[in-house]
Amino acid sequence: MPAAVAAPRARLPGVAWRLSAVSFLAASADSFFLLLLLWVAGPQGWTGLQTALVILALRLPTLAAGVLLGRAVDRWGARRLMLIDLAGRAALLGGLALTGRLPLIAVLLVGAATGCLAPASYAGARWLLPRVVPDDALGRANAVVAFGDHAPLVLGPALVGPALALFGTSVSLLVPIGLLVAALVLARGLPAVASPAAPEAVRDAPHAGRLPGRVTALIALSTAYYFVYGPFESATPALVRARLDSGEAIYSLLWVVFGLGAIATLPLVPRLGRRRPGLVNALGALFWGLVMLPVLVVQDVPLAAGLFLLGGAVWGPYASIETAALQRWVPPSQHGRVFGLQRSLLGTASPLGAAIGAVALEQVSAQAVLGCSALLCALAGLLALARRDLRRAE
């Protein structure tokens, strides 16, 4: 008999690519804004504690707002909440740009307000995707949207150095404003998909208030991983200045190659996430810590760039694998709630770790902070491997 011919893979719906573009533009704006503030903290005269406060102001409100916005997505759908988020953040950054010199109090207030809004687009994209993409294509669709999340690791750093050199601090804020406006225009074309269940049905569903153990374990792993990774963001500028004897161009380069590494491994997401995603991500956290540990002895730019490239490659598939697992393990009527919770925890954990790293830099070297961070990432992965339900969950 002739060999069976495999059916060609169906093309992804255009809405998946649109969601990727919206995520890319919005996350690029967020990345640019954070990196800009981290770089100008020294020239602005901010102390380590003040820099930590800025980071916390950007992300801590996400902890309170994430679950509320996720539930709002479950009730009213993704499109409306995403439009409110994107328009609100663009307006807030516009107001900050008008202050001219970025006074600390204005940065804190605007950062807190944007942090309250940002979870809506993240949760909305992941709520909408399973409703517009066939189940057998969901892994590929998550990888496409993840490209929109990871590509900002390239674009944000690539833009922030030249923008600061050419335009100065306040005018450079026009870059994230423009990115958010472009995302807003694209988001207007998203379908207004209705929620699959009325709020009453979600409330009355069996065990609606509890999440499966494997779900809480996976989110707990990510929260710990992102928290102990956080010092890499705040300590990298000090590493570039003190150890590599370089400026904003090399700072941008390191994060660009990190982003390129992350993008390069995204095609592996459907295969890696097909079986035992909890095990895969626990090993990912372990390997990332081991890969980045040589930062303790790095003294030249090529070696540092190589480490960041390899670290990005290990980091790349992680978030998409987690997203696909949560979409499978959680009922559709609770997707908004779960992804809002996830975003609130992860969006807070990394900046909180970065804030602690900023304070630690006043006492120890950047390499000590980065080395400690890498070791703790590996430890988080090891601890997660001890959870049998997480290791074995399909």
* Model pLDDT for residues 281-292, shown as the tens digit of each residue: 999 999 999 999
Q: What is the mean pLDDT of residues 275-299?
A: 90
Residue in the block written with tokens 């207007």: 188
Lowest mean pLDDT among 8-22, 219-233, 374-388: 8-22
For residue 297, name the pLDDT band (cuts at 50, 70, 90).
confident
In the predicted model, what is the mean pLDDT of residues 207-227? 84
Nearest to 176 by CA among 336, 34, 274: 34
Most confident of 92-106, 148-162, 171-185: 171-185
Spatial distance between the Cα atoms of 54 and 359, rounded to a whole number of angstroms: 12
Q: Are 69 and 123 in contact (CB under 8 A)?
A: yes
Q: Is the pLDDT of residue 37 over 90?
A: no
Is the pLDDT reported for residue 127 higher than 60? yes
Q: What is the pTM of this model?
A: 0.74
Which range, 2-6, 142-146, 368-372, 389-393, is most confident? 368-372
Secondary structure letter of residue 267 according to DSSP: G
Whole-number CA gyration radius for the chain: 20
Please count the other Cβ atoms lying within 10 Å of the Cβ belonging to residue 110: 23
- Domains in the chain with CATH codes: 14-192+213-392 (1.20.1250.20)
Residue 109 confidence (pLDDT): 92
Report pLDDT for 205: 39
pLDDT given at position 10: 62
- Higher pLDDT: 146 or 285? It is 285
Q: pLDDT value at position 5?
A: 43
| 149-176 tens-digit pLDDT | 777 777 777 788 788 878 887 888 899 9
